[in-house]
Chains A and B, each alone.
Chain A
Amino acid sequence: MSDATVLNLVLYLPVLGALALPAIPVRREDLTRALALAVMGLQFLLTAYLYARFDPAVAGLQFETRLPWIPSWGVSYQIGLDGFNVLLVLLTAFLGPLVVAGAFTAIRKDVKLFHAMVLLLQFTMLGTFLAQDLFLFYLFWEAMLIPMFLIIGVWGGERRVYATVKFVLYTAFGSILMLGAVIYLAYAAHAGSGVSSFAFADLYRTTLPVPAQTVLLAAFALSFAIKVPMVPFHTWLPDAHVEAPTAGSVILAGVLLKMGTYGFLKLGFPLFPDATRLFTPAIMTLSVVSILYGAGLALVQTDIKRVIAYSSISHLGYVMLGLVSADLLGIQGAILQMVSHGLTAGGLFLLVGMIYERCHTRELAAYGGLARILPVYSVFFMILTLAAIGLPTTSGFTGEFLVLLGAFSAAWQQYELGAVQPLALSGAAVLGVVLGALYMLRLAGRLLFGEARVPHQPVVDLALREKLVLGAIVAGVFALGLYPQEPLRKSELAARQYQELLARGVGAGGPARAPEARPPRPAGQTAGKTP
C-alpha cells in the first residue's frame, strides 16, 4: 500500500466507522464506543506512521493524491501532506481517540448518533487540513458545521440550542462571504491565466490587482477571524464552549479554532500578499487586542469553562501575531503554538469535564482544596496549567517564546525604518504572558488549594481510563516542550515557502521581509534556540 493510499485511508476511516455504526444494535453502547475508539486509534497510528515517513527535506506536497473531480471547472480531488498541515493533522488524529475515550461515561443519550457525529467531524476536520484544492477545502470547511451543530445542540448544557445556533450562524456568515470570494478568485485566476483551476498551487501563481486582493482578503479574513476567533468576532466562542459537552469543547478548542489560523497561514495571507501588507498593522493590532482582552476577561470569570474559553482567545492571538510577523521563527512558533494550544486547552477542557461529571457544576466558587481530595486530578491540572502559562520544558513555552522572538525581531527591523507601532504592540503582547500566568494561577489556586470543599460528596479520583487520556496529553505537552526540533524541522520549509509567497506580489518590497533579507537559519540552529 503506497503512502498516498494510507493518507486516503486516514481521511476516510472515520466515514467508514460512521457508516458501520448503524449496524450495531442500539443497546450495545459499549460496542459503539469500542468501534469509535478503534477507528480513531487506528487512524492515529496510521497518521503517526505517515508523520514518521514525512520527509522534512522535501518542499511541497508529499503522499499526494490528485484526481479530476469536476473537470469542466478545474476542480480536482487533491489531498496531501506538507509542512503547513502535517503537525495539525497529527494533532487532530492524536486528539481523536482521546475525545472518544474521554466521553465514555459523559455521553449517555443517543450514543450512536454522538459517535457518528464525532467521527464525521474528524473526517471534515482532517479533510479541511489535507485539501489542496480550494473547492474541496471549502466543502470540508463548511461541512464541519453540521456535526458540530449537533454535538453542541444535542448533548450540550442548558442553553445549548441558543449557543449552537449562534455558533453556526456566526461561522456561516463568514463562510458565505468567503464562498463569494472563492468563486471570484477562481474566476479571476481563470481570466488571468486562461486555466480553470481551484488548486492552491495554481492560485498561488496568480497575482491580482491590489483592490481586488483587498476585497478578497477581507472576505477570507472575516471568515477565518470568526473561526480563530479574533476580537471583535469572538462572542460566539464563550457560549459555544460553555454549552458544549466536554468532547465538543475539546474538539472546538483543540482543532476547530486552528482552522482559522491555518486558513490565514495557508490561504489568506499567501494568496493576497499585497493586501496582507496593507492589513498587517490592523491584524497585528487585533491580535494584540485579542491577547490582552482574552486574558483580561479570563481573569474575572466565575465559570471554569469560561476561563479556559477566554484563554483560548488570548493564546490564538499569539498565533496570529506570529503569522503576521512574517519572521521565520515567528511563523514556526505560530505553528507550534497551534499544536501546543490544542494539547493544553484540550486537556484542560477534559479536566473540567471530569470534575463536572462528578459534581455537576462549573462554578469556580463551589470548589477548593481539590489537591487534598483528588490528588491525581490535581497533578494533571497543575501540569496543564503550567503548560498553558508557558513554563519552560512544556510545549506552551516553545510556541509563545518563538512567536515573541519573531515578533520582536520583525518589529525591531521596522523600528529601524522608523515605525514604532509594531514594537509597541510586541511589547504589549509580552504583557499577555504575565496576564496569562495571573489568570491560570488564579484558577488553579482557587480550585486546587485553600479550604477543601466540593459541591457533591463523595468524589472519586480519576479512573484508569481518565488517567490514560490525560497521561497521553501530558506526554505530548512535554514531548513538544523538550524536543521541539523534530516538529520544527518538518514545518520549516513550509514556513519558508510562506515567507516567499508573502514577499511576492505587485508591490513586493516595502515593509514585508523577503527571506533573503536575513541570513537563513539551518534547521538545527532554529531549534537550538530553545531549551
Chain B
Amino acid sequence: MLDNYLPVLVFILVGILFGVGPLVAGFVIGPRRPYDEKLSPYECGFEPFGDARAPFDVRYYLVAILFILFDLEIAFLFPWAVVLDQIGLAGFLAMMVFLAILVVGFVYEWKKGALEWE
C-alpha cells in the first residue's frame, strides 16, 4: 500500500528540488559585489519610509475570498459543460438551481457593499 504513495513522495521531492535548487544555485554561482547603496531597501527612488511589513488593506481579503468563491464555480461549470449533451434537461436544471442560489448570494454581497472599494 505504501507503494501507492511513491509517486507522491517523488512529487514532493521534485517540488522541493525545484523550489530550493535555483535559490541555492543563485546563491552559489551568482556574483556578489555588495556596497551601501545596493544593500539599502529600494523604494521607487524615495528614501524608504515605513516598515516593509505594512499590513494589507483588509479589503484585499474580501476580494480574495470572493474570487475563490466564483473561481470554484467555474471549476464546477467546465465539467458540466463538457457532458451537457449526456445529462439532459435534469442536469441543465440542476446547474441552473445551483447558479440561481449563487446569484442570490452574489446580489446579497453586492447589496451589502462588499464590492465597493471606497
Quick check: do A and B touch in the complex, using CB within 8 A? Answer: no
B residues near A (Cβ < 8 Å) are none
